[in-house]
Structure 1
Amino acid sequence: MLIYKQFTFDSAHFLPNVPEGHKCANMHGHTYALSVFVEGHPDEKTGWIIDYGDLKMHIKPIIEILDHHLLNEIPGLENPTSEILTIWLWDKLKPLIPELKRIELKETPTSGVIYEGS
């Protein structure tokens, strides 16, 4: 069974490695939508795979690093494409949430990345 919790954060970035003249070379911002999926079986006593409050507790400090910041200034995100940001998030979250199965990061309502680790 998969459960999920959704989060949003606002960040600015620019992409330094795109071709000259590409609009994403300019600084711009996104309201990112992050969905975190956890896999498991409901505990016999609690009926939960994980308490949503515990999930939020693990994720909130990571979101605070990103929210209302310039992503390019965060170590490891010097070229913050959605793909690189998604891997960065996974690497931060997986040690905190061993049951983590998948994350989905939407840069816009119609564009995003789904990652299930490597």
Structure 2
Amino acid sequence: MGSQAAFLAEVMASDGLVATDRLATQLRITKTELAGAMGLSRDAVSKSSRLRAPSTQARLRDGVEIINRILAWSGSLPQAFAWYRAQPIPSFGDQTAEDLVKEGRAEAVKRYLSRIAVGGYA
């Protein structure tokens, strides 16, 4: 659990917003790649007015929360992010968590992960 708390502490700014520069650094990707992985435009993660928009922050928080949940099972942040981007989820027609977040279906992914966490089936 320590690595999960450390990840959240690192990527969340003191004002409660997701710090995209720190998140990109933690994930070892560019901010442009981060925008793509979260289904956002490049401007949404680079222009401060767009970055502070509630819809942008909600999408970023969803991605961070999903990656953080996977971190406990995957063993490392790179592995958690790889799962987010590439692991097909049978319950969703083999779409990835990234695909679902891009479609605005992050809540469905979080419910799926909650079911798995308590021993449910995929």
Higher RCO (CA < 8 A, seq sep 6+): 1
Q: Which structure shows the bigger proportion of residues in helix conformation?
A: 2
Larger strand proportion of the pair: 1
Give the TM-score of the pair, scaled to structure 2: 0.30
* TM-score, scaled relative to structure 1: 0.31
